[in-house]
Structure 1
Amino acid sequence: MHLRVTFVAAARSAALLAERFEDDRPLDQAGWNEVQRAAHELLPLAAAELRYCSPTRRSRATGDALGYAPLAQPALRDCGMGRWRGFTLGEAMAREPEAVDAWLADPRATPHGGESLHAFISRVGGWLDTRPVDDGGGVVAVAEPSVVRAAIVYALKAPPATYWNLDVRPLSTVTVTGRSGRWNVSLGGTVGRT
């Protein structure tokens, strides 16, 4: 049997607009408006047998607003950024330019004292690999765009540097089908946009 996991990228928050590391701000008004516009397209995913979300406030709020009543999964949290938590990339670069360069160049680097990109991708992939076999009901997971990017890289067995070349928009969907070690990726697009 194969598993079908549809990831829904959380709606926007002020953190997304500022692109802050591991920031847990709630949905902003624009995010709430986007969820309302997208609800008719994303609501059918509420029929999934298992419904999860990352533990961030915006992921939970997105899932709840879509009627998913998701269960928070710690493994779907954003990459641990250590002392850079809450910083923008520009702020981290201004304070520690060599450390940021090392982090961007080496997927195993942890100059911020947090989690490496490699470890982050492996954590998200480990969660994916341990989902129960699909009985036809499927799985939906609302998560930060960074988590969706990590899942794509893992599923495709792509080099970790591929992560930097993926753009996941709020409320876009990505479906991963297969089983542990053998995944296919289907890009669903962005919904609710005018």
Structure 2
Amino acid sequence: MPLRVTFVAAARSSSLRAERFEDDRPLDQAGWNEVLGASPALLPLAAAELRYCAPTPRSRATGDALGYAPLVQLALRDCDMGRWRGLTLGEAMAREPSAVDAWLADPRGAPHGGESLLAFIARVGGWLDTRPVDDSGLIVAVAEPAVIRAALVYALRVPLSTYWSLDVRPLSAVALIGSGGRWNLRFEGVRAQPSGV
């Protein structure tokens, strides 16, 4: 029986325009309110036999608030952004414009001194491919949007540049069905966000 891994994007800790690399801030009030609003649609995923989350405070808090009681998975951590950790893209661009341009152009590069996009996608994909197959194969994982984008690029075997074209919104959900490197995409209750978010 194939696995069904449903990724749920963590609620936010700031406006999307103020998102920071490797953001480890807790949920803000707007994030908590969004979790409450989304819970009727996302609570049924708590029935999954295996429930995981990324190690970020907002991923853990989102999973706990939804009743998942998730197990932290270090492989689901955000991309290691080296010296850009905690910066917004605009702040990194202001400090190191040519390095940001190089990073955006080359998925194998890591001019920030951290992890390349290619290594990040491979790490998340490795986690996905090593999920245990059990009787029902239902898994839920709460993670940062970047982790979900990496999982989708890996699972669908699309060009690495596709990573930049995927828009994963807080509290959206998407499922990957399959196992061992063969995955299909299934959208699950993707919820619309208010305009201006």
Equivalent AA in structure 2 for residue 116 of structure 1 = S
TM-score under structure 2 length normalisation: 0.95
Aligned to 2:154: 154
TM-score under structure 1 length normalisation: 0.96
Distance across 2 between alignment mates of 1:29 and 1:93: 29
Distance across 2 between alignment mates of 1:187 and 1:160: 21
Distance across 2 between alignment mates of 1:137 and 1:68: 16
Q: Kindly indicate whether the alpha-carbon contact (under 8 Å) linking 2:175 and 2:188 is maintained by their aligned counterparts in 1.
A: yes
Equivalent AA in structure 1 for residue 81 of structure 2 = M
Q: Superposition pairs for residues 93-132 of structure 1, below 5 Å?
A: 93-132=93-132
Residue 188 of structure 1, CA deviation: 2.1
Is 1:73 the counterpart of 2:73? The answer is: yes
Q: Kindly indicate whether the alpha-carbon contact (under 8 Å) linking 2:107 and 2:117 is maintained by their aligned counterparts in 1.
A: yes
Residue 172 of structure 1, CA deviation: 0.3
SS at match of 1:190: coil
Distance across 2 between alignment mates of 1:192 and 1:33: 15
Residue 137 of structure 1, CA deviation: 4.9
Cα offsets for 1:143-181 (capped at 9, x unmatched): 001101101000000111100000000000010010111
Aligned to 1:145: 145
Cα offsets for 1:25-82 (capped at 9, x unmatched): 0111011001001111110000100000000000000000000000000000000000
The count of residues paired between Structure 1 and Structure 2 equals 194
Residue 135 of structure 1, CA deviation: 1.5
Q: Kindly, what percent of the aligned residue pairs are identical? A: 76
Equivalent AA in structure 1 for residue 88 of structure 2 = T
Equivalent AA in structure 1 for residue 188 of structure 2 = G
Specify every segment of 5 or more residues in structure 1 that has no aligned partner in the other structure, as ranges.
none
Q: Superposition pairs for residues 173-192 of structure 1, below 5 Å?
A: 173-191=173-191
Distance across 2 between alignment mates of 1:16 and 1:78: 16
Distance across 1 between alignment mates of 2:108 and 2:100: 13
Residue 191 of structure 1, CA deviation: 3.0
Residue 103 of structure 1, CA deviation: 0.3
Distance across 2 between alignment mates of 1:9 and 1:189: 12
SS at match of 2:158: coil
Equivalent AA in structure 1 for residue 162 of structure 2 = T
Distance across 1 between alignment mates of 2:42 and 2:191: 8
Distance across 2 between alignment mates of 1:101 and 1:187: 32
Equivalent AA in structure 2 for residue 13 of structure 1 = S
Is 1:46 the counterpart of 2:52? The answer is: no
Distance across 1 between alignment mates of 2:192 and 2:117: 30
Specify every segment of 5 or more residues in structure 2 that has no aligned partner in the other structure, as ranges.
none
Equivalent AA in structure 1 for residue 56 of structure 2 = T
Q: Where in structure 1 do 4 or more consecutive aligned residues deviate above 4 Å?
A: none
- Please tell me the root mean square deviation across aligned C-alpha atoms, in Å: 1.3
